[in-house]
Amino acid sequence: EAGVAQSPRYKIIEKRQSVAFWCNPISGHATLYWYQQILGQGPKLLIQFQNNGVVDDSQLPKDRFSAERLKGVDSTLKIQPAKLEDSAVYLCASSLRGRGADMEQFFGPGTRLTVL
Amino acid sequence: AQKVTQAQTEISVVEKEDVTLDCVYETRDTTYYLFWYKQPPSGELVFLIRRNSFDEQNEISGRYSWNFQKSTSSFNFTITASQVVDSAVYFCALDDYKLSFGAGTTVTVRA
């Protein structure tokens, strides 16, 4: 079974530029998550989708970050404009369900973003 | 407030030594889930175990074992007879309404 796919793996941009990350979850997984992991810290949830609806985006900086999951499958996370403090690894994860049995999240390899 | 606290930032051991990683969590919910994830140098988080708040049975999987004590809000993880391949960052996480990770413990196993 294929895992969570993410692209690109690395991205370097200058501040105030825009950037987009793509994620394709494990087939059949209804729940998709985006996390931000700053160096030396644990991942922090940015947004959670259930199918194509948003369940939780309370920690998403909505003035510059946006995410969508059209058709309830793959997802895109965008930052516009980027700031220096956005330098981090952006992780996508998916799970069969949001709660209860089969709620384990499976993570992709991440996209390492460097903002100069 | 930090929901998940991992006491050790770094642990360094020699191969075949046992390693115990501490995790203390905080929640007001009676139904919650606890997890351990491993993040090797490649960067991809690997799921190790899930425990729900109603199941306090300890678990052993090969060289890995977990001790869940609700009374002390702890969910500790032990690697027995460590190997170099165990070198990674280990995260404890709590899901009461969303998944919150601890800061991680970096384990280095020296040959």
Closest Cβ opposite residue B44 in set A40, A110, A112: A110
pLDDT tens, A41-54?
Answer: 999 999 999 998 99
Is A41 in Cβ contact with B104 (below 8 Å)? yes
Query: What residue type is A65 in one-letter code?
Result: F
Instruction: Tell whether B50 lies on the interface with A, counting CB pairs under 8 A.
Output: yes
Structure tokens at A34: 């985006």
Average pLDDT over residues B82-97: 95
* Closest of A82, A103, A113, A112 to residue A33, by C-alpha: A103
Cα–Cα distance list, A51 to A46, A74, B19, B102 (Å): 16, 10, 40, 27
Distance (Å, whole) CA B85 – CA B100:
26
In chain A, whose CA is at the least distance from the CA of B42?
A109
B43 touches chain A (CB under 8 A): yes
Strand B10-14, strand B4-5: pairing: unpaired
The whole-angstrom separation of Cα B10 and Cα B21 is: 10
Q: Does A20 touch chain B (CB under 8 A)?
A: no
| 3-state secondary structure (DSSP) of residue A50 | strand
pLDDT tens digits, one per residue of B21-61? 999 999 999 999 999 999 998 888 999 999 999 988 888 88
Is B1 a residue whose pLDDT tops 70? no
Nearest by CB to residue B98, choosing from A56, A89, A110, is: A56
Strands B10-14 and B105-110 come out as parallel
Say if the Cβ atoms of B47 and A105 lie within 8 Å: yes
Name the amino acid, one letter, at A86: D
